[in-house]
Amino acid sequence: MDTKEADAAPKLMPVVATYGLPIETTTTVTPQSTLPLEMHAIVVCDTSPIRALAHLGLIDLLREFFQLVLVPPAVAAELNNPASKVTPVSVGEFPFIRVRVPSDLDRVKQFGDDPPRLHLGESEALALALEVRADLVLIDENDGRKKVQELGLVPLGVLGLLVRAKERGMIDEVTPLMHRLKHELKFYISEIVWSKIILMTGELS
């Protein structure tokens, strides 16, 4: 999705606190030419990508790529109170990440009730992305990514963001980071995705 014209962009709601080659798995990589990864882009984030970036010490990539980084309250809560034994992430420690409440609670409920019955964090993220006309939705889960596309929005996973970061010289390699995510966070990466990212990044050795 291209960046919206200024006169078409909605007024953003008040800040509550300062807290994509299609692949058939939870970690899709989208061709670079289709992604508005410029500083003027608005991104709404789900839980998994932020947790992964924080684990890798690379959460500042969000600030490098995007002008406005939004998360809904449910995502902030999931990060701060993880169900599994992973390190909590307080988005309040990162002033470039803002928590914003989606105004259409009926839409949030609908996303949770209708198939594929998204989790609350995903439901709030999608509702918020529609409201602010986000350029991208940073999300890893397969059901959530499919719903993002159905809504006419553009999904991007954390692995796709890491590929872009290497292309811009922000990181040296992607493969060691995938190893860390897989073994330290139990982050699922299929063999197909792994192989395609290696080919895309030229990390064949």
- Domains parsed from the chain with CATH numbers: 25-200 (3.40.50.1010)
Among 129, 134, 69, smallest CA distance to 99 is for: 69
In degrees to the nearest 10, what's the CA dihedral of 4, 9, 13, 15?
50
Q: What angle do CA 199, 33, 111 make, to 5 degrees?
A: 95
One-letter amino acid of 104: D
Residue type, 62: L
Average pLDDT of the segment spanning 80-100? 93
Peptide bond into 14 cis (omega under 30): no
Per-residue pLDDT at 176: 97
Tokens of 3: 């960046």
Q: What is the pLDDT of residue 37?
A: 56
DSSP secondary structure code for residue 188 in this structure = -
What integer pLDDT is reported at residue 124 of this predicted model?
Answer: 97
Burial label for 124, CB within 10 Å (0-12, 13-18, 19+), is buried
DSSP symbol at 11 = P
For the segment 119-153, what is each residue's pLDDT rounded down to a tens digit? 999 999 999 999 999 999 999 999 999 999 999 99
146, 150, 166 from 112: Cα distances, Å = 14, 15, 35
pLDDT tens, residue by residue, 158-196: 999 999 999 999 999 999 999 999 999 999 999 999 999
Per-residue pLDDT, averaged over 87-106, amounts to 96
CA distance 66 to 96: 9
Per-residue pLDDT of 8-54, as tens digits, reads: 333 333 322 222 322 223 333 444 434 555 555 899 999 999 999 99
71 phi and psi, to 5 degrees?
-135, 145
How large a percentage of the chain has pLDDT more than 90? 76
